[in-house]
Chains A and B, each alone.
Chain A
Amino acid sequence: MYYAGVDVGSRTIKVAVIDETGRQGIASGICDQGVRQAALAHNLFDQVLTRAKISRQDILRIVATGYGRNAVEWADTTVTEITCQAYGVRQQVADVRTIIDIGGQDSKVIRLDERGIVYDFVMNDRCAAGTGRFLEIVAQRLEMGINDLGGIAETAVRPSIISSMCAVFAETEIVGLLANEESPADLAAGVQRAVAKRMVSMLGGRINGPVVFTGGVALIPGMSRALSDALDRTIVIADTPQTTAALGAAMIAGAATERAERSNRPVSAGAHYLEGIR
């Protein structure tokens, strides 16, 4: 038997399947988000199961997360990405105390206590500042792919100072800087620094290590270094930074089933993984 997590994010959909021990990842998959997110999530789920050679009947329980979690009507329940992210990252870095997650259109900071339990979080999901979308807009303006930003930033001589964190204003600023003949390398490095600085302000000076970096932006070369420099501490990139929330959702599915079995109660569809919730 297996458990699954489906993370319906703003830019991508992720699926993770774990085995019945509730710890071992079996399969995962990612696809781009689109207008028909419910169908896209369903297709991805089927693809992941086919690849792993398991059938839908083998999945004991499914938890959906992410901003589009309510679209996954076939999930047993939903849990927010804050909780799922914490479960998923803790599986990979057991003593994690701070999670910095930068996704396509949102960013968050999650703080965990010494027991690995979330005690505080901050989210930015209402503007593109400090998110993957911000980097994407800049990369387009510099006529390069988002993954090339890091490589070219390595060759920067004097990283540009980007003063605006608003994606729209920053684009205007970059046009001005290009007109002033600042090099794309300096601009790329400046933009990565600006995103990192934004995260520092979200952290508000309260940061405990280990710090784990998740989300699609963690995969962009140079970003973790920019973050590490801005925070002046070591940053660990999660093993699978894009799918940690889906993994956490699958683990929560497993934990709820295990708890129900221990108490001899059936896990009903829609039941919450946390005891006592209505």
Chain B
Amino acid sequence: MIEAPLQISLEAWDEAYESSGAFIGRETCYGGSLGRHVKDGNTRLKHLLFDNSFAALNLWNFLLTEEDRLYRARYEGKILVGTMKDLGTVPVIAYAFPDVVAFYPDGAWWIPCLMEADEELLSIADNLGVNDSFCPVRAMLGAFVSGEHFPVPDILVCSVGATCDDFSAIAQRVEGLGHPLLWWEIPHRREPGAREAAVALPGGTKACVDQVEAVMVELDRVICALSDKAGVKLTDSMLSESIVHANKVRACLMELRHVVFTAKTAPLPSLELLVAEMMGLHYCSDRREVLSVLSGLLETVKRRVDAGVGFQGPEAVKVFWVNPVADLRVMNMLEESGGRICGTEYLFTHALDLIPTDLPAREALARVALADPMAGSALDRAARICNDIEKFKAEAVIISRIPGASHCALEGEVIREVVAACKNVPVLEIDVPSMCDTFQETLQTRLGALVETVREQRKGR
């Protein structure tokens, strides 16, 4: 029998956990009740609603125990690679080495939300001159100074160039604090000229051969630095094996997304899907276990779809979501307003696309790196969003802006214009800082109005 899918509070989860023996024998080393993470300071969990499946509990537990895994890796003498900004490419290289663990210090941008403590990390950044005119990823700077949220990596590798100005500025400040960074450059991806040889990139964009070669040279520098640190020479077969593993994770996520977006009734809430997608970037510091967590989630979702059960009725409005949110609570608000997730573009679609296996491994990775939505024009992002709106039959688009993030001010309008022109669906832009409590009503009104607008449109058809 399938348990009816529900979104439940932390309290309800803990009660269910206590009263049910269903988890015994299935639990992992990072298992336990959700409530225990509140004791670790993640108080925001008290204000969220969670999927009631065991697979979702596993997902949350895996996410919220990453810090433990990192400290354990340090204790075991593994090399810790802090990979910054590129989202998805450098971890594939890092995990090709034995006894190397990669993670994103960037992930600290969720700490002010999860710990409901803007004051700490963000005010450290403020005091260092990186104030709220910057992206909330500046929390990472505070985390480096406080030294409390992750062990200081043995090596820091940061992409720069076409990716993100805010991040480069913040990362330079990290370097200024005495943490040397290996910078590698991604050029701005441009349409190949008439006389230039073009290559296809994962996700449907193109770049000229020279650009791919330039990125290969940059990635070689990264490979050399990591080889030196790990004391192991990286062979092509090691890299290919890492790509095969990355593709397993990506394939699992692609299938999960497809099943969720195309199901008749929503089989997974938007919040859990966001967390799952994020895990594809660096495997949440455990390359083997992440596959088991994500496969478990996929299995649950498929079972629900087969049984025809979901969180909302089939009338829920299908929403395509652009950009990740700094406050996780906002994802819950989508379902509360009568919407469901039906397409996402969280700025790292290139980390969900399969890495080509019919190319030399380094070239394949260079192509994936160049496919980064941040490396190309906003029009490329908009085109992919339009394709996916079509594919998943989304009825509305939400562009959540990240306050302070320099690209948001420019891209939002471009994406909005393109989507409105070619897809004729309503587009809503919202600002989502790390804590939205003070203007929750404003957000509810906007999301509610979007849902009502789609329902009115349906009635008129």
A275 near B: Cβ within 8 Å?
yes
CA gap between A221 and B446 in the complex, in Å: 30
Given the complex, which residues of B lie within 8 Å of A275, measured CB to CB?
A: 459
**A276→B312 CA distance, assembly (Å):** 11
- Contact call A274/B455, Cβ cutoff below 8 A: yes
Residues of A close to B446: CB separation below 8 A = 123
Given contacts A80-B452, A81-B445, A82-B452, contact A278 B338 (CB under 8 A): yes
Contacts of A30 in B (CB 8 A): none
**Given that A115-B460, A126-B431 are contacting pairs, would A83 and B313 also be in contact in the complex, using a CB cutoff of 8 Å?**
no
B459 touches A119 (CB 8 A): no
The answer, yes or no, to whether A228 is at the interface (CB within 8 Å) is: no
Selected A-B contacts with CB under 8 Å, 23 pairs:
A80-B448, A81-B445, A81-B449, A82-B449, A83-B449, A117-B456, A118-B456, A118-B457, A119-B426, A120-B426, A120-B427, A120-B453, A121-B426, A121-B428, A121-B453, A123-B449, A125-B442, A126-B442, A274-B452, A274-B455, A276-B313, A277-B315, A278-B312
Q: Which residues of B contact A (CB under 8 A)?
A: 312-313, 315, 338, 413, 420, 424, 426-428, 431, 439, 441-442, 445-446, 448-449, 452-453, 455-457, 459-460
Q: Bound state CA distance, A204 and B456, in angstroms?
A: 23
Q: Which residues of A contact B456 (CB under 8 A)?
A: 83, 86, 117-118, 274
In the complex formed, the residue of B with least CB distance to A252 is B452
The smallest beta-carbon distance between A239 and chain B, in angstroms, is 23
Contacts of B312 in A (CB 8 A): 278
Contact in complex: B445, A80 (CB < 8 Å) = yes
| A interface, CB within 8 angstroms of B | 67, 70, 79-83, 86, 113, 115, 117-121, 123, 125-126, 204, 274-278
Q: By the criterion CB–CB under 8 Å, are A117 and B315 in contact?
A: no
Residue among A113, A274, A275 having the largest count of chain B Cβ atoms under 10 Å: A274
Among B338, B424, B445, the one with the most A-chain Cβ atoms within 10 Å of its Cβ is B445
Q: Taking each of B427, B453, B455, B457, which has the highest tally of chain A beta carbons within 10 Å of its own beta carbon?
A: B453
CA A119 to CA B441, docked complex, whole Å: 22
Q: Give the distance in Å from the alpha carbon of A277 to the alpha carbon of B455 in the complex.
A: 9
Closest Cβ neighbor of A83 among chain B residues: B452
Cα of A25 to Cα of B420 in the assembled complex, Å? 36
Given A115-B460, A119-B453, A274-B456: A67 and B431 within 8 A (CB)? no
Q: Determine the residue in chain B with the shortest Cβ distance to A82.
A: B449
Tell me the bound Cα distance from A83 to B456 in angstroms: 9
B426 → chain A, closest Cβ, in Å? 5
Given A83-B456, A120-B427; A278-B445 close (CB under 8 Å):
no
Q: How far is the CA of A117 from the CA of B461 in the complex (A)?
A: 10
Q: Of all chain B residues, which has the CB nearest A205?
A: B417
Q: Main SS of chain A's interface residues?
A: loop
Shortest distance between the CB of B389 and any CB in chain A (Å): 15
Which residues of A lie under 8 Å from residue B424 when comparing CB positions? 119
The complex places the Cα of A121 from the Cα of B424 at a distance, in Å, of 13
| Cα distance, A275 to B453, chains bound together (Å) | 13
**Closest-CB distance, A231 to chain B (whole angstroms):** 19
| Residues A126 and B457 in contact, CB atoms below 8 Å apart | no
Task: Tell whether, in the assembled complex, residue A120 and residue B420 are in contact, meaning their CB atoms are under 8 Å apart.
Answer: yes
Partner of B460, one of A117, A121, A276, A277: A117
C-alpha spacing A123/B446, complex, angstroms: 8
Specify which of B315, B428, B453 is in contact with A118 (CB 8 Å cutoff): B453
Distance, CA A82 to CA B427, complexed state (A)? 14
Closest chain A residue, CB of each to CB of B317 = A277
Complex: how many Å from CA A115 to CA B457?
10
Looking at B312, B413, B424, B460, the one whose CB has the most chain A CB atoms below 10 A away is: B460
Tell me which residues across on chain A come within 8 A of B427, comparing CB atoms: 120
Q: Is the CB of B445 within 8 A of A123?
A: yes
Shortest Cβ distance from B337 into A: residue: A80
Residue of B441, B455, B459 touching A67 (CB-CB under 8 A): B441
User: Is B452's CB under 8 angstroms from A67's CB?
Assistant: no
A115-B460, A119-B457, A276-B315 known; A70-B441 Cβ under 8 A: yes
Min Cβ gap A51→B in Å is: 30
Q: B439 near A126 (CB under 8 angstroms)? A: yes
Besides A118-B453, A274-B452, A278-B315, 4 other A-B contacts (C-beta < 8 A): A67-B442, A80-B445, A126-B442, A274-B459
Q: State whether B453 touches A82 (Cβ < 8 A).
A: yes
Q: Which 9 A-B pairs have the closest CB atoms?
A: A276-B315, A82-B449, A80-B449, A274-B455, A117-B460, A83-B452, A80-B448, A118-B453, A117-B456
Across the two chains, which residue of chain B brings its CB closest to A206?
B420
Give Cα distance in the complex from A57 to B44, angstroms: 44
Give CA–CA (A276, B315) in the complex, Å.
Answer: 6
Q: Is the CB of A67 within 8 A of B457?
A: no
**A117: which B residues are within 8 A, CB to CB?**
456-457, 459-460
Q: How far is the CA of A275 from the CA of B428 in the complex (A)?
A: 23
Shortest B408–chain A CB gap in Å is: 15
Distance in Å: Cβ of B35 to nearest Cβ of chain A = 28
In-complex Cβ contact of B313 among A79, A118, A121, A278 (8 A): A278
* Nearest Cβ on chain B to A80's Cβ, whole angstroms: 4
Q: How far is the CB of B326 from chain A (nearest CB, A)?
A: 16
- Write out the residue numbers on chain A whose beta carbons fall within 8 Å of the beta carbon of B431: 126
Please, which residues of chain A bring their CB within 8 A of the CB of B313?
A: 276, 278
Select from chain B the residue with minimum beta-carbon distance to A277: B338
B443 to chain A, nearest CB (A): 10
Residues on B with C-beta less than 8 A from A118 are 452-453, 456-457
